Amino acid sequence: MTKIIYTLIAGTALLGGAVLTSGCSTKGNQVAAEETADQIEQARIAGREAARTFVSKEWRDSLELQSHLIEAGIKRTSYDSLPQQKAAYDSAFISTVRTVRPEVAAQLEKFRHQQ
């Protein structure tokens, strides 16, 4: 169990945190202004779907857990240059995980606040 928790924490680094990684530059603000409400909602939907897939899987070992975290992180990369969509994705992802698997969400939150 401890091994899974440590892997979960390490894998979470791949996901990052919306609060910690959403920097504000002039160009970033221009991109943010171009993001529409529909695009932001689509990012929320994608975050929920990624979380549902993530929490519905059973992990046989820490390597498999890390693999699932990497999959979730890959889905998130399309929003890296879109700060509002990235924040919406992250928020929906963690909210869904918190609802379905609170113990996993607690570890994700703990790691996010340490960074």
Question: How far is the CA of 48 from the CAs of 15, 55, 114, in angstroms?
Answer: 14, 10, 24
CB contact at 8 A, 11 and 66: yes
The reported pTM is: 0.65
Q: What is the pLDDT of residues 49-105, one digit of tens each?
A: 999 988 888 878 878 877 888 888 898 999 999 999 999 999 999 999 999 999 888
How is the chain split into domains, by residue range? Answer: 2-114
